Structure 1
């Protein structure tokens, strides 16, 4: 049987609840804090854009609530009592903590709303940007005030340079201080214009002698790595066709200038549209693309939304 004692107003639980309920209002405490700090009801009223009477009534309400005098009123002036000074210190400390917390939360929210994402140039142009409108729709729906600024960049970087997130291939060491989420494995293979396959590839799916191989300064070992992994002997080159960036070598292949080492993700649309062909397929070269950040993605953040979206589009490959 449950005792009726637990429901009595005089019980400890009821008394504690009553005490909490009798807490002076925050508005009244703000009025008291200003009056205590300035020791002047009129100046407190001006600061808070209230009337002198509103300040006086707020202070009187707290005094009635607590059963103590907070001010001594003498000759149109007010002076804090000992109880008033004690309450003033507590209220000032509490308000300061609230202001500080609000400022930190506001700054944190503002920083999250403006993120800079650095992405390797070729991946940015040929893989991320064509898919970006789909992510924009998701971002606008869940974080309408957020914005992600895209910048092109490859290799090592520093978060101190204003970069919040980065997509990089793990062909360099980024250290333990960086958090990495793997997106997809890199798969490479020779690609060329579809109508030129018979000119540059033998029936046994081998590269013909004299086939122009397109190289790039940003991936100088691409052909050698593919050759080593597949055990394929590269044809001798009368001269080397070298381009400044990986993107340019792929564009040269599309233009019919030779055979480039392409990555499956970056040429997927060209293969689907029939512009390029990959007669020998693709093989993993041991590297992978990752999303890099200072720390793991927080639940509900723009960072988490981006990561989940990147993983979803990667899995559809």
Structure 2
């Protein structure tokens, strides 16, 4: 009750955000299908409730005060969160069971998404909400039923199911390979190497595994996601270390070519993680069984998909 006493009406917060964005009560009113007087009244009541001025009036414009700028940052975040929560709840309509998943972006795009239709065919009562998370989080604080995790099989408060280890290869475009005469590992010391921001040691470890010593392993264009690196390599920007299953389509189409024979099995692996208190939910159990079977099948067939 004490917290509720400090909450302004939602309509006033929406009017405040719109007016701040447009720097105009008139344009905010047009957006919200209200009169300019109604927006002005809502802002005035909000300022009275807070006891501070949120805007200063300058000719035909309204400008945020210092207090207004601080408040706008928090209000906009709260409205965005409420918007996302509302859309998520609306997805429950017509479905008996909703599975909320957190996935890694490239894994979700390249590996998981093309296979999800099969899961939904097998589990027609399920609905999916999928969000991006790059790092482990607290299941008590985030509304997820499970997550795809890359790294060590450790997650506080979660049950960890192994999927498959990560196998990597070095790839580039065919024109890039031919132009730079890339015949062996040592040749990669003299060409641009594409770097993944979350795996800064990848090239150093690769060169060390090949018996090569260099102080330039960390040099090269840096990207946030594997998907961006794959596109950069396909457009001749450099060579890249990529998980095999992320570039199967590019290898099959010829957009990328594999350099050198064999793969490198990394120490880290992919896992499905879910909180203990949701382990018995039917949709979680169904997804776990389907996902582990898909991972097993994909690993068994991978060798046949790799050109030498």
TM range (shorter): 0.5 to 0.7
1:123 pairs with 2:103: no
Tell me the C-alpha RMSD between the 2 structures.
2.9
Q: Which residue of 1 aligns with 2:163?
A: 183
Aligned equivalents of 1:111, 1:229: Cα separation in 2: 50
Paired with 2:264 and 2:277, the residues of 1 have a C-alpha distance of 30
Q: CA 1:238–1:290 in structure 2 vs 1: closer, same or farther (change >3 Å)?
A: closer
Q: In 1, Cα distance between the equivalents of 2:277 and 2:96?
A: 14
With over 3 angstroms needed to count, the CA separation of the structure-2 counterparts of 1:200 and 1:237, relative to structure 1, is farther
Q: Distance in 1 between matches of 2:137 and 2:96?
A: 20
Answering whether residue 191 of structure 2 is matched by residue 211 of structure 1, we say yes
Q: Does 2:300 align with 1:289?
A: no
Q: Distance in 1 between matches of 2:180 and 2:96?
A: 50
**Which residue number corresponds to residue 287 of structure 2?**
306
- Superposed CA deviations along residues 168-204 of structure 1, whole A, max 9, x for unmatched, are 11258423x3110000001112111134323345334
Q: Distance in 1 between matches of 2:276 and 2:266?
A: 27
Q: In 2, distance between residues paired with 1:265 and 1:243?
A: 19
1:196-239 per-position Cα deviation (integer Å, ceiling 9, x unaligned): 32334533454344211001212212212323334345695795
What's 1:268 paired with?
Answer: 248
- Asked if the contact 1:207/1:234 (under 8 Å) is kept, the reply is no
Partner secondary structure for residue 254 of structure 2: coil
CA shift for structure 1 position 288: 0.6
Q: Is 1:220 the counterpart of 2:204 in the alignment?
A: no
How many residues in Structure 1 have an aligned counterpart in Structure 2? 203
Alpha-carbon distance in structure 1 between the residues aligned to 2:248 and 2:214: 24
TM-fit CA distance, 1:265: 1.6
Q: Which runs of 5+ in 2 are unaligned?
A: 1-93, 303-308
Whether 2:257 is the aligned partner of 1:277: answer yes
Determine the C-alpha separation between the residues in 1 that align with 2:277 and 2:248.
Answer: 30
Question: SS at the partner of 2:108?
Answer: helix
2:209 aligns with 229
Structure 2 match to 1:54: none
Task: Give distance in 2, aligned partners of 1:226 and 1:219.
Answer: 12
User: Could you tell me how far apart the structure 2 residues matched to 1:138 and 1:171 are?
Assistant: 30
Answer whether contact 2:98 2:283 (CA < 8 A) is retained: no
Q: Deviations over 1:50-104 (max 9, x none)?
A: xxxxxxxxxxxxxxxxxxxxxxxxxxxxxxxxxxxxxxxxxxxxxxxxxxxxxxx
Instruction: Give structure 1 stretches of 5+ with no counterpart.
Output: 1-109
Check whether the contact 2:154–2:160 (CA below 8 A) recurs between aligned residues: no
Structure 1 residues 297 and 278: alpha-carbon distance in aligned structure 2, compared to 1, 3 A threshold: farther
Aligned to 2:121: 137
283-292 or 184-193, which deviates more? 184-193
Distance 1:311 1:113 in 2: 20
Q: Deviations over 1:218-266 (max 9, x none)?
A: 2212212323334345695795211233321222112221111100121
Change (3 A) 1:256 1:147: same
For residues 270 and 146 of structure 2, the distance between their equivalents in structure 1, rounded to whole angstroms, comes to 13
Mapping 1:5-84, distance limit 5 Å: none
Which secondary structure does the structure 2 equivalent of 1:271 belong to?
A: helix
